[in-house]
Structure 1
Amino acid sequence: MLTPDTAVNIVSNAIHVIVLVVCVLVVPSLLGGLLVSIFQAATQINEQMLSFLPRLLITLGMLVFAGHWILRTFSDLFIETFTQAGRLVG
């Protein structure tokens, strides 16, 4: 039987996984953007491509580097969720 406690548990697991995956992708990009911004402020270079391209490359690099982990994490979440759904329904 689906109780409010199990529903909250399922949703909290999903939110936890989403936050982990977003942090893996966004935090390195933010740090790279911070370094580029410090470099731009120090040298007075105000080029938009200089601020966009490193963040794009860092994000793509993290997708390549952590892609296997991201897929495995999402697969584990979906398998766990569908297993719980099968137990809760019937």
Structure 2
Amino acid sequence: MSDADVTEIAVATMLVAAKVAAPVLLTALLVGFLISLFQAATQIQEPTLSFVPKVIAVAIALLVTGNWVLSELVTFTQGLFDSLPRLLDRT
């Protein structure tokens, strides 16, 4: 296994991790932004007002995108395992 192979696997791993984390992170970002706008407009500074809706929104995002996330991770892992013999033969 060469340095280029390791770099290729690392880049692919980071891309899959970013793609898989994006729905949850973007949901939390959007809900947090909307709640902060509401808090700024009404001057209500209740900590649970920002926490509870984010938790609910993230849970809904996980329910909606969970199947896709799992299929992406399984596809990536199967591709990695399928490429192992090719990578080990190069040594």
| Range into which the TM-score falls when normalised by the shorter chain | over 0.9
Identity %: 30
Cα distance in 1 for partners of 2:86, 2:56 equals 43
- TM-score of the superposition, structure 1-length normalised? 0.93
- Offset, 1:87: 2.3
Residue of structure 2 equivalent to 1:70: 69
Partner SS state of residue 53, structure 1: helix
- TM-score of the superposition, structure 2-length normalised? 0.92
Unaligned runs of 5+ in 1: none
Unaligned runs of 5+ in 2: none
Residue of structure 1 equivalent to 2:80: 81
* Deviant stretches of 4+, over 3 Å: none
Matched residue pairs, number? 89
- Offset, 1:89: 2.1
Q: Does 1:40 align with 2:39?
A: yes
- Structure with the larger RCO, 1 or 2 (CA within 8 Å, 6+ apart): 2
